[in-house]
Chain A
């Protein structure tokens, strides 16, 4: 351990780091701009200058940039000598000569790194009296606002967007005082990770456009730790509320999960919480027309007691998007054998297959952070950017791991970003993708194979066989495929951290099994093998661990059991089953009770609808695709009758079923019962401290100590300041009162520290800057294969494509913006949804007499679909990709075999114009609407 002399004190520090990171980790305040823990150092801003001395006798020293200087044993530096202090203040002064000083109207104000650093350096007075250069701002789409005059040219934005996220359309232009950061022309930013610019940019150049719609300063937001509900990865977030509406989402650092970043779906998809589609009061259908009208609590009780008097048989349908606690409550109400997981049957069997693969091992499911460390990747059947966006960002880092390894051999540390990139140039880690069509990671792929689903599975199994000849062989492979399989096998075997990625989105179990097969083969010769299996929703894995019953054979179940009451928890069954089947189901029972937060076709048919809280109005636990249980906390107490689903279920639970009103006072009671009942989930208790947790006798405050206007906020309604709501379920208070120090990691409600108002105050919450949060990153892993005995190989090798004649394989096409149920209710996200079209290979299209933009009719069984055609060379011949998960579109069981033919021009063409700058044909994603006339 090197020892370091700083301003008269000696510190033992970790070797291999740069001086800036080390100083910050020691808790010292050293200003910086261009360095970022995830992006490394480039030495662009010169703000982190310190003075370094040769030895004890050197009293002159020399200025060095801390972020560019590796720590060495016996190093002597000072942060406080006059020379370096003056240099840093002067530097800010120079940076600020062109800055507009418009903090009062700047959205960054109050959480601005530039403000913090300016104050920190002591540059308090402005002497510059001359004209400032001004820029034109650009339209960058619905997510990001642009205000270029505020730029201090730290280059962080391009280093994140272009270098880290591989975004093609943001760059630095011109030189000297005219350096400009933006696009070549106005237009929506193409990267799915553009929102991170808001947090990466240390000034107010890039800010959250959706926040602007209902702007609130950081110090006026009520915040609590949350977990993103928009896909199966469970990124950690901080949501902020004021006046009963969610104002924005920002990143909540979790070293093992999402690190410093979020995807745009997760960041900008929050507006469904505030939308008019919310269910805000209990509703019951009445009269002949069965219109739903608000009902009183008494009426609910009456309805429920009718149900209970009859000692109804209750069927409970849970949900992969509801918390474990809510699902468990319903499971208790209906009884485990009458509780179903609420997933589409095929999806359920795939999620369960994924679960068993993770449980059996031998591969270990990797965290997002570990995925980024992989140095050879093979993706089977997933367009990761669309189905698990942040995993795609991690995989982009994996693609650069060889560069880091190469640099290490040349003695260049990983943080020396420009040098690492310079050395590696275009070199990328071995990265293979087998998919049915174009994917958004194709640009980093070493090789890409586009084949029907069975072809993906066969290639996967061939790779497994190439790794371990005792794995079943695949007959009838073309030589080129054999060769590719050998190449992939060699790459995975030679890697230090091989990673196999697959998931449920293709709807094909053979693909999942093939992925597992590869890891089983790899594990025969090595200890560590990584696997990442993508699941569709935020609690898919959790519900699979909790519920045994599925929606399979639902009709028969209903007939044989004669259920009278159906309780549907946070689930729109029309997204899970064919509509005719759901219609019949809802007709077949006496009473349908739906507990949900947003109106859905299912809720509209219910006899009783109970308003549930969204992630923002309820607490709970989710299990992500890694098998990590994570707790999310309520942000604010909603007005009216909205309450947690588990409370509704508790409240309608009759005596005869063991009413839990007295037993379940708060969330901790539910969790405790759950953990006792379901041993596989027992560890979720450790995901976060219980509701009675206090620090120095205090709760953790959801509101910052600078929260303004609380005595006046409701003055238009009452002159008395209302008492803040109580929170029985968590260790948080809904007010400014409470503990302000650093709480345990799962309870961090915001990042702030004296002198550090921006997101970069996070430094103070980490054990070591860029590493784990103090006390360990939140979340607890539930699944770890014990590795005792290796599972056997899957023996069933799928035959070559089963399509015959005119038949094609219909493949579900998932879109980051469009396929997820709730983010699409946000206005900003809506602007990014590509129009619905089917994607075909040009050769198939020609056979069916179709061209770009013409209407195709797709038929499969009872299903008939009419959509415009997009052509894409990458779409595997014999397959047609069909948009999946779109709101309002009929549910289709995919994949399926079907036929495609020519349809009529349809009036109801659901195309949405692409807001992207026209003429930019660069977009590699064939699914984008730009290639549709």
Chain B
């Protein structure tokens, strides 16, 4: 069940559009902001609000890789694997992160602290390689820098 707060926020979004279905992405982002991810149950709840079938909504949800349809860790690390970062040593950074966290891309640490995901261009090619944790961008990465950054989230 959606909370009153979530409902209110979604209702507000719906007012911005001619067809309420158009607000479906925003609605899922709202729920994700509150819960970290969008569960099957939430899909059905949001779909009901949007006059959509759950299948139609899930079709939208799964198209976007930043709508999480599985639980994620407290912090989501997104490491850029686009061409500039790749040239500048993305693979080393990725391997370092994986080793350090003890997980592979797409996985979450056992303590539920970190989820590691690849992402396409973060728009900071001049400072490649780059990654993002939550809303914070980290650039010109080196293994040492990564170690220090991760400590902040410990």
Contact = CB atoms under 8 A, between A and B. Distances in A.
B19 A184 contact: no
B54 A173 contact: no
A732 to B, nearest CB: 44
A376 interface: no
Interface in B50-100: 53-59, 62-63, 65
Contacts of B19: 425-426
Interface string A420-433: 00000110000000
Interface in A151-203: 162, 168-175, 180, 183-185
B59 A171 contact: yes
Contacts of A173: 58-59, 62-63
Contacts of A920: 44, 53-54
Interface residues of B, number: 17
A754 interface: no
B2 to A, nearest CB: 15
B63 to A, nearest CB: 5
A922 interface: yes
A921 interface: yes
B63 A171 contact: no
B46 to A, nearest CB: 12
A122 B56 CA distance: 38
B44 A919 contact: yes
Given A426-B19, A920-B54, A922-B53, A172 B59 contact: yes
A839 B62 CA distance: 38
Interface residues of A, number: 19
A168 B53 contact: yes
Contact of A170 (B55, B57, B63): B55
B31 interface: no
A920 B47 CA distance: 10
A58 B57 CA distance: 48
Contact of A171 (B44, B48, B55, B65): B55
B44 A183 contact: no
Contacts of B41: 919
B40 interface: yes
A169 B54 CA distance: 8
Query: Which of B41, B55, B57 gathers the greatest number of chain A CB atoms within 10 Å?
Result: B55
A153 to B, nearest CB: 13
A582 B137 CA distance: 83
B43 interface: yes
A100 B153 CA distance: 44
A410 to B, nearest CB: 20
A922 B59 contact: no
A319 to B, nearest CB: 41
Nearest to A185: B40
B55 A183 contact: yes
Interface string A15-29: 000000000000000
B26 to A, nearest CB: 20
A922 B58 contact: no
Nearest to A181: B59
A140 B14 CA distance: 33
Given A184-B40, A184-B43, A426-B19, A168 B62 contact: no
A284 B63 CA distance: 66
B63 A184 contact: no
Contacts of A174: 62-63
A426 B22 CA distance: 13
Contacts of B54: 169, 184-185, 920, 922
A920 B57 CA distance: 12
A169 B62 CA distance: 15
A425 B41 CA distance: 29
A169 B59 contact: no
Interface string B23-47: 0000000000000000011011001
Contacts of B57: 184
A425 B19 CA distance: 10
A251 B55 CA distance: 28
A168 B48 contact: no
Contacts of B48: 921-922
Interface in A634-677: none
A168 B55 contact: yes
Nearest to B65: A175
A161 to B, nearest CB: 10
Contacts of B44: 919-921
Interface in A405-458: 425-426
B63 A169 contact: no
Contacts of B56: 162, 168, 171
Contacts of A175: 62-63, 65
Interface in A877-933: 919-922
A173 B67 CA distance: 13
Query: Which of A173, A180, A183, A184 gathers the greatest number of chain B CB atoms within 10 Å?
Result: A184
A171 to B, nearest CB: 4
Interface string A571-588: 000000000000000000
Interface string B142-153: 000000000000
Contacts of B47: 922
A168 B54 CA distance: 8
A426 B18 CA distance: 11
B65 to A, nearest CB: 8
Contact of B58 (A171, A425, A919, A921): A171
Nearest to B57: A184
Nearest to A172: B59
A183 B47 CA distance: 14
Contact of A169 (B40, B43, B55): B55
A919 B55 CA distance: 12
A174 B63 CA distance: 4
A426 B53 CA distance: 16
Query: Which of A171, A185, A919, A920 gathers the greatest number of chain B CB atoms within 10 Å?
Result: A171
B21 to A, nearest CB: 9
A171 B47 CA distance: 14
Nearest to A922: B53
Nearest to A425: B19
A170 B54 CA distance: 10
A921 B48 CA distance: 8
Contacts of A162: 56
A110 to B, nearest CB: 32
Interface string A795-812: 000000000000000000
Nearest to B21: A426
A808 B43 CA distance: 41
A168 B55 CA distance: 7
Contacts of A185: 40, 54
A362 to B, nearest CB: 41
Nearest to A169: B55
Contacts of B55: 168-171, 183-184
A185 B44 CA distance: 11
Contacts of B59: 171-173
A250 to B, nearest CB: 26
A564 B54 CA distance: 63
Contacts of B53: 168-169, 184, 920, 922
Interface string B81-121: 00000000000000000000000000000000000000000
A175 B67 CA distance: 13
Contacts of A922: 47-48, 53-54
Interface in A504-550: none
A192 to B, nearest CB: 16
Contacts of B62: 173-175, 180
6 contacts: A175-B63, A180-B62, A184-B40, A184-B58, A920-B44, A920-B54
Given A169-B54, A173-B62, A180-B62, 17 more contacts: A162-B56, A170-B55, A171-B55, A171-B58, A173-B59, A173-B63, A174-B62, A175-B62, A175-B65, A183-B55, A184-B43, A184-B55, A920-B44, A920-B54, A921-B44, A922-B48, A922-B54
Interface of B: 19, 40-41, 43-44, 47-48, 53-59, 62-63, 65
Which 7 interchain pairs have the tightest Cβ spacing? A168-B53, A171-B59, A173-B62, A184-B58, A184-B55, A174-B62, A184-B54
